[in-house]
Structure 1
């Protein structure tokens, strides 16, 4: 019984380490959003769509270490308080059709 309780307690502590912060880009400048992502490594950011005006959200990362092994960071743009083109990184699956990893015959 003690080992079960100990295991549950450790699981609860470990789950806090994987918590990801959520932010609202409408109340932050582009610099603040980028600094937050740089500090936290990854963050979920809500923002207003530049095309439709609807509410969107995404998970944005500092670098490749915060992406899954089958993903890479790619630049995308979100709307913040001061600009509609704030550059951030978003994890996207590798595109195996771009010949990046293929060897070419001479």
Structure 2
């Protein structure tokens, strides 16, 4: 009986749709819109042009809270350009250093 339940759970999990992550170009959005997207979706890929190298697009995954980071990471303050400001405050997942772990 427990094997049937386990099989059902595995089949059910496989049949669920994958959660896609949205992508946004920050220069076309206001800072408040970017922050609203992160609060609503919890995580998104934000893209923007490199300030130093023309024709290079930079991107990363940004989150609304550290709990959306992988194990061993934490949310660190970062800034992305927006339509209305050059520095829109967001959170980016960064590895937790050994010092922060108390080692």
Q: TM-score, normalised by structure 1?
A: 0.76
> By how many angstroms is 1:10 displaced?
5.2
Question: Any stretches of 5+ residues in structure 2 without a counterpart?
Answer: 1-6
State the partner residue of 1:102.
102
1:68 paired to 2:70: yes
Match of 1:80 in 2: 82
Equivalent residue for 1:23? 24
Please, what is the CA RMSD of the aligned residues? 2.3
TM normalised by structure 2 equals 0.78
Q: How many residues align?
A: 95
Q: Shift of residue 95 of structure 1?
A: 1.0
CA distance in structure 2 between the aligned counterparts of 1:79 and 1:48, rounded to whole angstroms = 9
C-alpha separation in 1, matches of 2:67 and 2:58: 24
CA distance in 2, matches of 1:101, 1:66: 18
Q: Does residue 37 of structure 1 match 2:38?
A: yes
Question: Structure 1 95/13 Cα, relative in aligned 2: closer, same or farther at 3 Å?
Answer: same
1:79 Cα deviation from its structure 2 partner: 1.0
**Structure 2 match to 1:92:** 94
| Structure 2 CA distance for aligned equivalents of residues 101 and 13 of structure 1 | 35
Checking the alignment, whether the CA contact within 8 Å between 1:71 and 1:91 is kept in structure 2 is yes
Structure 1 spans left out of the alignment, 5+ residues: none
